[in-house]
Structure 1
């Protein structure tokens, strides 16, 4: 990895030296009609590789141009292309300024497009409709975070991003979320293609944006989470040469580096490339919980004509860390909250624990316009995930003495050692039709997709065979019976000897443990296979100010019981999934909408494949959502505002059974319902004042359950209110020209845990300082400015045993250079 980064740095240095010996130079400034500077606009010489994007002040500079006549081309997403014939001589310095007009026509139907560089605004999401219609015309709430906001906040993981999106809160720090009160993130998407979730979140340096469609999107994609789907959109090659590097260092011994190199491969600019590299060596305020990450993400784009585009992406990620099960608590004996009973830094594990994850994704997509009215898109992904782990963790129980009484400061431990692997294939193809029938226009869609996940043979898992050693010390028993102490090996105090020594919460000892001294059993990880496919149709009909969206999908979900065994049995589930929505254009800038969608979500192959661990069989989850809202544009389309009210019902919910013998055992609950209100604001109020803000009110209740006492109570880890803001101000004149400041905050109200305590609400304040010196950018990000003590969600150790604390005050200083 270091050699790769050094090679890129050497390349960039040689490129800069070469540029200083320029024959001629063209520079200038690109603005909107209102003189607002435009960042990231491509400026280049037609038919050559000479070009430059504009900086945050809208300025560009193209150096080392040989003498001759050229066509200067200025282009940017959402703006009309401008060209100018120029002639340049040796050592000549020419200046050309341009004012760009916004486009009125539809944006190109490519999944990567939609945001203008330099803005917090996104204009399009193919995830929401599989077409290039504006987000304003989609009858469903869609939230997003652009790469500009990701860069300003120095977010490196998806868990750093979700606070900017209404209705999403972290359920854990390892990438589990609650979206509108329902668990999400079990299935994630890259460029609209489904993959399985790894154990830990990966680096996001290769992302163009993160977007979330609220509610189930089963009518287009088959099974999906009821609260919403998170999609990661990757960066794509640009047709102008651009290189950027950045280095960061900060609290907890954090060191980060990133490189982003893009441009044309040939003079015709029909073949483009981009390489994103990232490295992180980050410590933590939590004991033993640092991590090292490497991300390598090259991509190619081939544009043989204006009607055809081929994109290829390779994403390789490596994680070396430990699983953070949260801060364990001393057992409460007086009814008080245990949150402050132990230090936030405490981890119930040992130094020889580890978690190594490798993922490899290959993504391909083809788009072709047969005509102005018929467009074809096809894409696929192959995804491989491997995990090698050794984990010492709590067994969700405290130690006991000879009378069977709880020892509140000693935790029973659990061993997990193993290797696992999953592979995913997802492919989809669809055709868009634009049809005019008198005063009525149709944007029709027909498509087919296929998804498969395999857990192949060869995986294995080592676990303890019991919690307490038997009297002969030749094996272990699952639980302790104080009426029959003669069955157990006892210590000098007459207490049963655990199979694996207790973890002392008062005097923690992280010394590596010899796992060969435990009574264990190695079992093969169950092989599993599921595949699902579906055909769907959709039509968005426009009649004046009214648009109606009609969609229908037939889904065929197939999984296997006892896969690759003699009694293997194929089980098929089918579902007919409708979607109905309507949009009314109150004005050119304000739309009102309503929608009804249904969701379908069979249980995952891993759950079905291990009934001895998870229980079951379980019925599939089904959901429905009714939503009404408004979407609007302000300040010359520089600011977008969306607001929605909704109700979602989810049936056959899986929850932890809290079984003392099997901590992974699940059970099914009847029905849950959430209803609420959300608002998202993104964009610019002034040319140098940007904002991202969100708020959500959500009441998530248990409406059906075998336990009658639960009916009408709030769901676990579903706060009633949450929200956040991020405001950035740039100085664009005077002696402080290039300086900037940002202030942000996010808050979450009380979270029910299902135990005898709740997680208190909190507000966290962040800040950042920026300074741009031509192509050099300095930034200082300070997170949790007030050093607030808070907990973000549950610990993976189990309900009532642990919770994930938020990070104390920390900083990150970064230096970036783009040329």
Structure 2
């Protein structure tokens, strides 16, 4: 027997309770005796033809029956329309007709669904007596892991609590962008998917797909299935969405569960997992600027008893850009396999490889207090600039063992390796004002950088449910460990302008064609001898606990804490060996050890079954992986947040909305030390504060309309520093921002055939382009971008085929997404324009 799903009608989780073999054993021996009067009750049903799990949800809602079954048992099964007056038993028989499933009574008012035994006919209608049917609530209406799901809302988040607690019962703002939204919008990077979440803005460097601002603060790290990846020290990377099931955002400090993290929030991507139900898809996309993308997905069992499952997904993408000289050539492959030696145990091995050839992009400069009024396609690299390369691999494992229906142990492991090689013709001085006094000549020079990252992280969690003194406890105890090494190598000159390489920003093409000899001679030197190599190290241990106490099915009390032991450092030298020796032996002050306790508490109350009111307080603990001008490691960053909010589930639980207020402070922020000529020297500016209101809505208004939308009011400012800029707004943070995406399905969201269309937009108000003390301040103007799609789905020899056409920036507006976060150039030298009108067509076939 596979893990079971219990559709609970009373708890707001309404959701998914996975029970192991012992759960089934507990249910079978003592089947409840039905109440004769209730078993004969007649109901009026009007249930449309739809997926079986959705029809069962409506039956549970109307009768109060709790259906117990494996998610894989009903996946891909359709239920016929049901209309008329009948008993609950007769209704269930009609819904299960031809499905290969039968049912029997469980404990209380539960009903167990099972496969029909071989050579054993199903029970005739009316032959099985159902338990007492007292209406007490509703059940969850969808399966979070169905590869064919078109749902815009997720009931659970794996990152939020590391338990199976529903989002609606969790005292925190948690947002999930599911696969269905990414498919409809034709996203290819998580940068695009996160435009649907309040308070989240992309802030990449060199045009890469990662680097974000959440609730006003920079987030460099991305977690993968709950474990931190290689990203660190400002080296942004890429995540292709071909292997992603969803992208999750846990707002506010998350150090209690994850240790090192930024206080604004945690970004976690969940990857696709092998399924018992065979599913295959192949998609070809094509679009503006020579855009071509092939994407595939395949999953199913490898043997007859389905103890071995596989999944293989991936993509190949080749495209130019509206920006001159900029292109991407990327391939991503992701095989995985799951072994289930028993109903209580499973082990998954997954690998994700990505290789990308591309040309990095510095964007355009500012003139005065606005982006330069030049064609947004103008690029200031060179036709002879060598191609940049990115390669990375993630190797992960996941082990789960359920001792019984209440207690389980979980282990995850992730090995990440990444290499990124880049050669630039970059603005120079990179961290000064590279635009000359005539406001049209940009100073340049040649520079290269390479970073090699190797990281290992693992965790071990024990989860359990028990009752004590009349209170239901959902407990977690865990331990994790992270170790990473980053070798950073630089050549060339980013600091001094080479007049022979000056370029006219209004007519850059006239200066293209730098001789190869200039590249070779410049890269043979380095502007800061003795600092060609840097070694960054991080080692992190953490032990944590959490308890979720439930009283009267309405009051939820959360409490937990974590103790961290952290060591970070950076060594420099003329060679890799010298940098490593400087870190380990020559200068012990460049390494720092810290310990800290990070608590989180929260309370959530549900006065009505559709409403939750919550409040929470949490701390965060980070680590500045840098050194001061005096050569000493900087103190760790810390954060503190107070949050209060309300959550509601409407339209028969199909729509989830969260409204949150927060007040967040961050201390010991690492920035450039302006007292030294070296822009890589760091100092803490003191404190910054962010406060605001956020609204997120996602789900279905009806079978025909789905929605995902957000709004954020964000007031993020410097509150303490030594430069006299208290009160200055943090850069790239709009006071008002939002998004909206609405999908219409003419025949219903689960229809096998029919027309669909969608329209939406992204809004951002005026933003500061840089910190005032990084040069003359400037602003990015606000913008509204409108997107749309239309699709038609039909069957060709029983194979679903979908043709889709997307337009991004339908009104062809000029806008600017962000500035460089002072990672590779100053923000004044690196403003990133948004793409003009872009069309994408696609054909997708499913098997």
TMscore range, shorter length: 0.7 to 0.9
- 1:35 aligned partner: 48
- 1:593 aligned partner: 614
Matched, 1:638 2:651: no
**Distance in 2, Cα, partners of 1:664 & 1:323:** 21
User: Which deviates further from its counterpart, 594-603 or 163-172?
Assistant: 163-172
Matched, 1:394 2:427: yes
- 1:797 aligned partner: 825
1:216 deviation in Å?
1.1
1:460 deviation in Å?
3.0
Q: Normalization by structure 1: what TM-score?
A: 0.81
Q: 1:154 aligns with which of 186, 209, 216?
A: 186
Equivalent pair of 1:464/1:499 in contact (CA under 8 Å): no
Q: Normalization by structure 2: what TM-score?
A: 0.78
- 1:742 aligned partner: 758
Q: 1:732 aligns with which of 731, 744, 747?
A: 747
Matches within 5 A, 1:147-546: 147-172=179-204, 173-174=207-208, 175-184=210-219, 186-197=220-231, 199-329=236-366, 331-332=367-368, 337-340=370-373, 342-351=374-383, 352-396=385-429, 406-455=437-486, 460-464=489-493, 467=496, 498=498, 501-508=501-508, 509-514=511-516, 515-518=519-522, 520-521=525-526, 524-544=532-552, 545-546=554-555
Q: 1:564 aligns with which of 581, 596, 600?
A: 581
- 1:493 aligned partner: none
**Distance in 1, Cα, partners of 2:704 & 2:463:** 39
C-alpha offsets along residues 202-250 of structure 1, whole Å, 9 cap, x if unaligned?
3111000000000110011111111001000000111011110000100
Equivalent pair of 1:57/1:732 in contact (CA under 8 Å): no
**Distance in 2, Cα, partners of 1:33 & 1:280:** 46
Equivalent pair of 1:350/1:513 in contact (CA under 8 Å): no
C-alpha offsets along residues 695-723 of structure 1, whole Å, 9 cap, x if unaligned?
11111111111122x21221111111111
- 2:704 aligned partner: 688
Structure 2: tracts of 5 or more residues without a match = 1-44, 57-68, 82-97, 104-109, 122-132, 572-579, 771-775
Q: SS at 1:586's partner residue?
A: strand
Equivalent pair of 1:40/1:53 in contact (CA under 8 Å): no
Equivalent pair of 2:230/2:417 in contact (CA under 8 Å): no
**Distance in 2, Cα, partners of 1:297 & 1:192:** 18
**Distance in 2, Cα, partners of 1:694 & 1:716:** 21
**Distance in 2, Cα, partners of 1:701 & 1:117:** 41
Equivalent pair of 2:445/2:501 in contact (CA under 8 Å): no
Q: SS at 1:286's partner residue?
A: coil
1:420 deviation in Å?
2.5
1:390 deviation in Å?
1.4
- 2:726 aligned partner: 711
Matched, 1:811 2:839: yes
**Distance in 2, Cα, partners of 1:715 & 1:79:** 56
C-alpha offsets along residues 391-423 of structure 1, whole Å, 9 cap, x if unaligned?
21112469999xx98343222223222432110
Q: 1:104 to 1:233 in 2, by over 3 A?
A: farther
Equivalent pair of 1:418/1:461 in contact (CA under 8 Å): yes
**Distance in 2, Cα, partners of 1:39 & 1:204:** 29
Matched residue pairs, number? Answer: 715
1:171 deviation in Å?
2.1
**Distance in 2, Cα, partners of 1:116 & 1:719:** 36
C-alpha offsets along residues 68-111 of structure 1, whole Å, 9 cap, x if unaligned?
xx982599xx997564568899xxxxxxxxxxx9999999xx9x
C-alpha offsets along residues 510-556 of structure 1, whole Å, 9 cap, x if unaligned?
32442124372386422232210111111111122211111011100
**Distance in 2, Cα, partners of 1:719 & 1:194:** 28
Q: 1:312 to 1:568 in 2, by over 3 A?
A: farther
Q: SS at 2:669's partner residue?
A: strand
Matches within 5 A, 1:650-665: 650-656=666-672, 662-665=678-681
Matched, 1:760 2:781: yes
- 2:90 aligned partner: none
**Distance in 2, Cα, partners of 1:502 & 1:359:** 35
**Distance in 2, Cα, partners of 1:736 & 1:261:** 20
**Distance in 2, Cα, partners of 1:276 & 1:114:** 15
- 1:580 aligned partner: 601
1:750 deviation in Å?
0.4
**Distance in 2, Cα, partners of 1:736 & 1:105:** 26
**Distance in 1, Cα, partners of 2:362 & 2:675:** 18
**Distance in 1, Cα, partners of 2:662 & 2:146:** 26
1:444 deviation in Å?
1.3
- 2:21 aligned partner: none
Q: 1:817 to 1:164 in 2, by over 3 A?
A: same
1:125 deviation in Å?
1.4
Q: 1:693 to 1:588 in 2, by over 3 A?
A: same
**Distance in 2, Cα, partners of 1:637 & 1:116:** 20
C-alpha offsets along residues 542-584 of structure 1, whole Å, 9 cap, x if unaligned?
1222111110111000124544343253531000111111111
Q: SS at 1:800's partner residue?
A: helix
Higher strand share: 1
Q: SS at 1:219's partner residue?
A: helix
C-alpha offsets along residues 489-517 of structure 1, whole Å, 9 cap, x if unaligned?
xxxxxxxxx37622232331232442124
- 2:76 aligned partner: 53
**Distance in 1, Cα, partners of 2:698 & 2:432:** 51
Structure 1: tracts of 5 or more residues without a match = 1-31, 59-69, 90-100, 469-497
**Distance in 1, Cα, partners of 2:413 & 2:664:** 31
**Distance in 2, Cα, partners of 1:802 & 1:400:** 11
Q: SS at 1:442's partner residue?
A: strand
- 1:135 aligned partner: 167
- 1:780 aligned partner: 805
Matches within 5 A, 1:5-84: 34-35=47-48, 37-38=50-51, 53=76, 72-73=100-101, 81=113, 83-84=115-116
**Distance in 1, Cα, partners of 2:260 & 2:565:** 10
Equivalent pair of 1:399/1:407 in contact (CA under 8 Å): no
- 1:483 aligned partner: none
User: Which deviates further from its counterpart, 384-393 or 519-528?
Assistant: 519-528
